[in-house]
Structure 1
Amino acid sequence: MLGNFSYHNATKLYFGDDSLQYLNEELPKYGKTVQLIYGGGSVKRNGIYDAVVEILKANGKTVVEDAGVMPNPTVEKLREGVRIARENHVDLLLAMGGGSCCDYAKAVSVSVHCDDDPWEKYYVRFEEPDCEIVPVACILTMAGTGSEMNAGAVITNHEQKLKIGHVFGEEVMPKFSILNPKFTFSLPKRQMVAGIYDIFNHICEQYFSGEDDNTSDYLAEALMRSVVHSSLIAVENPEDYEARSNIMWSATWALNTLISRGKSTDWMVHMLGQAVGAVTDATHGMTLAAVSLPYYRTIMPYGEKKFARFATEVWRVNPEGKSDRELAEAGLEALENWMKQIGVAMNITELGASEDVIEDIADATIILDGGYKVLTRDEVVRILRESL
């Protein structure tokens, strides 16, 4: 491993089908007023909402409702959440849902006691919080983003056609997160597989960089194999507890910064996918899937040995008689076959994009330099066209 790094993860996790009971242990550590954050109401239909509210009331908490968090949380919703938190002097932000709810809660947490507009401060100027931060906790109902154990918060500005993530410091990470795999059983299949691809791509973003012998890469390969194996089971039987629990646990470790240690990391698939999402408002995991293969085929010649390793170590492609280029191409073919098998989006056309918006998506794409190839704008446009 090359370079120097530090590692500290401040989030406490409670995992398993009895994990919700541990909310009773954590709530006494916080003040009286809890802002309960959730999305479109599925948590009410499946009974999770009632169970959580019952525990909150049993612990003497005043519950302030903050419903309607959308799959790609908007700057307008963020400002609404900040207003709710300020007016009610909340002591804890409890996000109940998937990554969007968790991301949103973190964005609210750093904005409540700051006078600046949160979009300008955190997503345009990329400043760090210089004010009191309201603590965040998560009850996860969808596996994918890893937001339950990291400090990232992605917000969408439709007016500016931008979708931007800010990774804050460890003080913004959830204080605790509750992960019950059974809470993910009621997800529609399309949401489940979008989350699965999000997990897989988080790992790829950290894997496809560097050429050193890095322990993080070995961890990444094991996680990818686990995701592939469990995904095929879950697609056939969404209520297979073992498969769903492995997917949930892999999602957390895919993006809690562990496998990025000693790595430069890439993240261009996310930059492309988030730009597609900013223009189309499509589901995050699906936008990643739709742009992945054209991007990887563009950068593969510059990281050929790692792509060849990806083929042999993740997909078990037989290397006998094959060059690195042939192995690399076989690995991407195996990735494509798996993506089709689980049913993710294979192009941005099915997500609502067309040739007419390619330039807008390119304008919204932030170009990073951590991977094997720094893209030009022309290459961004070409990849997007190949993704149609």
Structure 2
Amino acid sequence: MLNFEFENRTKIIFGKKVEEQVGALVSANAKKVLLHYGGGSIKKSGLYDRVINSLQEAGVEYVELGGVVANPRVSLVREGIKLCREEQVDFILAVGGGSVIDSAKGIAAGFYYQGDVWELYMREGTFDECLPIGVVLTIPAAGSESSGGSVVTNEDGLWKRDIGSLKLRPVFALLNPELTYTLPNYQTACGISDMLAHVMERYFTRVIKVDLTDRLAEAIMKSVIKQAHIINQSPDDYDARAEIMWAGTLAHNDLVGTGRQGDWASHGIEHELSGIYDIAHGAGLSIVFPAWMKHVYKSDIPRFAQFANRVFDIEINTMNLEETAIKGIEAMESFYGLIGMPTRLSQVNIDETRFNEMANKATNDGTTTMGSFVPLTKADIMAIFELAK
């Protein structure tokens, strides 16, 4: 196990009707808030009105900025920064899923930064302070409600990049599983794919003697898979929705990554896909991860066999561990299919036309590698795209 520091300041308030507390929580931290959200879903559901009423009852001033889309755009982040400065906002309230929260974090990071916020995402600048953020979560997926990361897309060049800082962890996050009842099946499945990927990026590591976090990661994955089947049959099952919502947070609050080194190559490859083709992040991950597994599993067959056994209950063939490892990869791919996720690029109408461009972007024109479990060269990434066709 590696040395580590674990710090997560986000206060999680979980359960039915917790969104009604939002006004009091914001008023304890701010005087004027930016209410940041996506499209019309929070208005159709009545959540928007409940949030506004709570803010007003607490005497909190607010300004609004909606319009966040999947794979959030840096252009809206810039608009939010300008609005917050003009209105002298001192807090951001993100009401939505990972895209809304990531966009809010971009605004928070760019508020005090003197240059263009995209410089932060391109590692051309740094920030020392940011606006505080609160969250009302509506889509369990990205885990952004208690993580320090933000991912946005720049329409100019179709670049999708991230920033990360402990300062970007939200002050609080309100999680009511009932808010997820109306999610379309596809969106629920995309979220499940995302949270599983967050765990697997940490699970497949070269660090040894990490049995505790192995077991934590396996428990999250097994629970998510079990509850996904229940939700498929009973979308309004509160307990299943609650398990999934909490799993999404635990998958990405850094707990299961303590003492180990994560990989993150699959996320990096997926960012090129969704940056260019604007597909759902979870859908991109369900395509990339099995292909990545097929490409790298021989470098550590025992770990893949352990994954197969502990996550999918596949009996270990002690005479042929590779057979067990392959069955685990097949089980993962089969699960994605059962919940309606694509596992091939052809299923989302992506061909090989831009493979070279994406591999170049991922490796700075072939000058760097990606990932740590197996450092991937440009040729490796091209091979993974081929496996994903």
TM over 0.5: yes
Q: How does 1:201-220 map to 2 (within 5 A)?
A: 201-214=197-210, 215-220=212-217
SS of match in other structure, 1:225: helix
Which residue of 2 is the match for residue 371 of structure 1?
A: 372
Cα deviation per residue 1:66-100 (whole Å; 9 max; x = unaligned)?
Answer: 00011111111111111111111111100000001
Residue 217 of structure 1: how far off its partner (Å): 1.0
User: Any stretches of 5+ residues in structure 2 without a counterpart?
Assistant: none
Whether the aligned pair in 1 keeps the contact of 2:23 and 2:60 (CA below 8 Å) is no
1:386 aligns with 2:384: no
Whether the aligned pair in 1 keeps the contact of 2:91 and 2:131 (CA below 8 Å) is yes
Structure 2 distance, partners of 1:322, 1:126, is 51
Which residue of 1 is the match for residue 295 of structure 2?
A: 298
1:158 aligns with 2:159: no
Distance 1:4 1:15, change over 3 A: same
SS of match in other structure, 2:110: coil
Residue 211 of structure 1: how far off its partner (Å): 4.8
SS of match in other structure, 2:150: strand
Residue 303 of structure 1: how far off its partner (Å): 1.6
1:179 aligns with 2:175: yes
Structure 2 distance, partners of 1:5, 1:37, is 34
Q: How does 1:307-318 map to 2 (within 5 A)?
A: 307-318=304-315
Structure 1 distance, partners of 2:142, 2:219, is 18
Q: In structure 2, which of residues 123, 142, 145 is the aligned counterpart of residue 125 of structure 1?
A: 123
Whether the aligned pair in 1 keeps the contact of 2:317 and 2:323 (CA below 8 Å) is no
TM-score, normalised to structure 2's length?
0.96
Which residue of 2 is the match for residue 12 of structure 1?
A: 11
Structure 2 distance, partners of 1:97, 1:113, is 24
Which residue of 2 is the match for residue 79 of structure 1?
A: 78
Partner AA of 1:125 in structure 2: R
Whether the aligned pair in 1 keeps the contact of 2:207 and 2:261 (CA below 8 Å) is no
TM-score, normalised to structure 1's length?
0.96
Structure 2 distance, partners of 1:119, 1:24, is 31
Which residue of 2 is the match for residue 193 of structure 1?
A: 189
Residue 61 of structure 1: how far off its partner (Å): 1.5
Residue 158 of structure 1: how far off its partner (Å): 2.5
Residue 345 of structure 1: how far off its partner (Å): 1.3
Which residue of 1 is the match for residue 142 of structure 2?
A: 145
1:222 aligns with 2:219: yes
Structure 2 distance, partners of 1:77, 1:369, is 29
Structure 2 distance, partners of 1:126, 1:137, is 27
Which residue of 2 is the match for residue 57 of structure 1?
A: 56
Greater alpha carbon shift after TM alignment, 69-78 vs 23-32: 23-32
Whether the aligned pair in 2 keeps the contact of 1:280 and 1:352 (CA below 8 Å) is no
Greater alpha carbon shift after TM alignment, 357-366 vs 41-50: 357-366
Distance 1:141 1:375, change over 3 A: same
1:288 aligns with 2:285: yes
SS of match in other structure, 2:303: helix
Structure 1 distance, partners of 2:360, 2:347, is 21
SS of match in other structure, 1:372: coil
1:343 aligns with 2:344: no
Structure 1 distance, partners of 2:182, 2:26, is 26
Partner AA of 2:384 in structure 1: I
Cα deviation per residue 1:8-65 (whole Å; 9 max; x = unaligned)?
Answer: 1100010011312332431221232111000011000011101000001111122211
1:361 aligns with 2:358: yes
Which residue of 2 is the match for residue 325 of structure 1?
A: 322
Whether the aligned pair in 2 keeps the contact of 1:266 and 1:368 (CA below 8 Å) is no
Distance 1:291 1:380, change over 3 A: same
Structure 1 distance, partners of 2:344, 2:169, is 33
Distance 1:161 1:24, change over 3 A: closer
SS of match in other structure, 1:199: helix
Cα deviation per residue 1:90-143 (whole Å; 9 max; x = unaligned)?
Answer: 1110000000111111111011122110101x111254313x421101100000
Whether the aligned pair in 1 keeps the contact of 2:36 and 2:104 (CA below 8 Å) is yes
Whether the aligned pair in 1 keeps the contact of 2:2 and 2:207 (CA below 8 Å) is no
Cα deviation per residue 1:152-187 (whole Å; 9 max; x = unaligned)?
Answer: 00010132221111111x222100000001111111
SS of match in other structure, 1:77: helix
User: Any stretches of 5+ residues in structure 1 without a counterpart?
Assistant: none
SS of match in other structure, 1:95: strand
Greater alpha carbon shift after TM alignment, 315-324 vs 32-41: 315-324
Which residue of 2 is the match for residue 262 of structure 1?
A: 259
Residue 370 of structure 1: how far off its partner (Å): 4.5
Structure 2 distance, partners of 1:358, 1:147, is 29
SS of match in other structure, 2:343: coil
Residue 381 of structure 1: how far off its partner (Å): 1.0
Partner AA of 1:64 in structure 2: V
Structure 2 distance, partners of 1:4, 1:372, is 18
Q: What RMSD, in angstroms, separates the aligned Cα atoms of the two structures?
A: 1.4
Whether the aligned pair in 2 keeps the contact of 1:287 and 1:351 (CA below 8 Å) is no
1:108 aligns with 2:104: no
Structure 1 distance, partners of 2:319, 2:279, is 38
Distance 1:369 1:272, change over 3 A: closer
Structure 1 distance, partners of 2:322, 2:190, is 29
Whether the aligned pair in 1 keeps the contact of 2:15 and 2:175 (CA below 8 Å) is yes
Distance 1:47 1:290, change over 3 A: same
